[in-house]
Structure formats: structure tokens, C-alpha cells
């Protein structure tokens, strides 16, 4: 009989990890799932193996990443400037333009087989946004979406001030396996966003939970809330990481 949908997800916290190291780990898990799906096509149903799902949480040292559809001129630093800021720069294989990752920012990389959930990338992106919106609501912040723009914003409707991006997103998928994901600004050094045109958008600001509330938050506390909202929105079951 055919495999049943696997709603279990392995949750791992990678701590503060170099961007390239985390990227390589994502690629390893991603390739493993893609290869398994290809192998399953050649096997009888009773010999097929289910693919696994992962939520990887981490922070990165200062780094700028440019998506495959991005414009390199949106990085406002040359090589010497990057060295002065102790920052790295990578061109990567997700969608979207340029963004910044650094300490004080929660990064989440879902490696999911969407065939266990739904086969709709737009719904996948909206679900990730929804989990962030619910997390921010836990802190009394009214966040939402801006039509035509990916990510989560404050000031997304009239009367809430200038639009301010608080969470960026970019994904890659193949055979309905996802990688890359989202970044939520909790307590980062926002001056690093001044070295780029974030996501190629020139007329909107970047913010953090710390800036909006005027206090520093526990990253582990925010991460736990975000994890629980992701589990709920995607109707996943957390299992002990293997």
C-alpha cells in the first residue's frame, strides 16, 4: 500500500553556526530526501521509504546572502568593507534578493517534503508568514503581509506607521522538498542592514522585536514560540531529532 503522509518533524537547534556550514548541512538533508523520492519511484510500494522532515534553528555570524534573482548592486560594501564589518558574503540558490543574517536573529530552515502536507509553494510561504505573525502577536505586535511582497511587516496597514520589515523569507524547492527559509529579527544589530538595500526594497525600513518593544528578549523564548506556531500551522508533530 502507498506510504502515508509523514507529519513528524525533527527539530534541531544548531546554535551559532557559520552560514556555509549550515548551508552544507541543509544541502545534505535536502539531497537525502530528493534522492529517496527518486529511488521510491523505482521500488514496489511495500519497499518504499518515507522522507523525513526537519526544522533547523540557528543564528549566524554576520553574513550577507544574495538570492539567484537578486541584484548584486544591492550590496553596498566592497571586499574591504566586508572585512571591516567582519562579515561574509555568499551568492546562494534560494529565491529573493539580498538579506543579512547575524547574531540576535533567529533563522529557521524547514527541510520539508510538502507532499506530506500540500503541494503549493505559495501556501507554504503564507504558512511560514502566519507562524511569524502569530509569534509577534504573542508580544503584542500587530504584524502582517504587504501585497506583492514576501515576508512579515509592521506598519502593514494605515495607522501603524511606516512599513517596517521584521522577517525575511526565501526558499528553494525541488520535487516538493524545501530548503532555506525565514529569518526573524529579535535583537540583531540593525546597523548591518544599512550596508544593503534589503530585499531590493528602497522605500521601507527594517526593524526588530527589540526596537519595537524597547527591550531585549530571550532568543530561546522567541524561538520556542516560533517553533510551536510552525508545528501548529503545518499540523506537524515534533519528534526527537535523530
Active site residues: 199
- What is the C-alpha to C-alpha distance for residues 146 and 153, in angstroms, rounded to an integer? 7
- What is the C-alpha to C-alpha distance for residues 198 and 183, in angstroms, rounded to an integer? 13
Is residue 234 classed exposed, middle or buried when 0-12, 13-18 and 19+ CB atoms within 10 A define those classes? Answer: buried
Asked if 151 contacts 169 with a C-beta cutoff of 8 angstroms, the reply is yes
Query: Could you give the 3-state DSSP secondary structure of residue 191?
Result: helix
C-alpha dihedral (128, 149, 175, 134), degrees to nearest 10: 10
Amino acid at each position: 500500500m502507498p506510504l502515508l503522509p509523514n507529519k513528524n518533524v525533527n527539530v534541531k537547534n544548531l546554535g551559532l553556526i557559520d552560514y556555509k556550514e549550515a548551508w552544507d548541512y541543509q544541502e545534505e538533508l535536502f539531497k537525502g530526501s530528493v534522492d529517496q523520492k527518486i529511488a521510491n519511484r523505482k521500488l514496489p510500494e511495500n519497499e518504499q521509504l518515507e522522507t523525513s522532515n526537519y526544522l533547523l534553528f540557528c543564528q549566524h555570524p554576520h553574513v550577507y546572502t544574495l538570492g539567484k534573482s537578486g541584484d548584486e548592486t544591492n550590496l553596498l560594501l566592497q571586499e574591504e568593507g566586508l572585512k571591516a564589518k567582519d562579515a561574509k558574503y555568499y551568492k546562494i540558490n534560494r529565491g529573493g534578493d539580498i538579506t543579512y543574517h547575524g547574531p540576535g536573529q533567529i533563522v529557521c530552515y524547514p527541510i520539508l517534503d510538502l507532499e506530506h502536507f500540500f503541494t503549493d509553494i505559495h501556501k507554504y510561504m503564507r504558512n511560514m508568514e502566519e507562524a511569524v505573525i502569530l509569534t509577534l502577536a504573542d508580544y503584542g505586535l500587530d504584524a502582517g503581509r504587504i501585497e506583492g511582497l514576501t515576508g512579515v511587516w509592521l506598519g502593514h496597514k494605515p495607522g501603524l506607521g511606516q512599513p517596517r520589515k521584521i522577517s525575511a523569507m526565501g526558499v528553494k524547492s525541488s520535487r516538493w522538498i524545501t530548503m532555506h527559509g525565514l529569518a526573524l529579527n529579535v535583537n540583531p544589530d540593525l546597523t548591518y542592514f544599512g550596508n544593503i538595500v534589503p530585499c531590493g526594497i528602497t522605500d521601507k525600513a527594517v526593524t526588530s522585536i527589540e526596537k519595537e518593544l524597547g527591550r531585549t528578549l530571550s532568543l530561546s523564548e522567541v524561538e520556542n514560540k516560533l517553533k510551536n506556531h510552525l508545528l501548529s500551522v503545518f499540523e506537524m508533530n515534533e519528534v526527537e531529532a535523530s
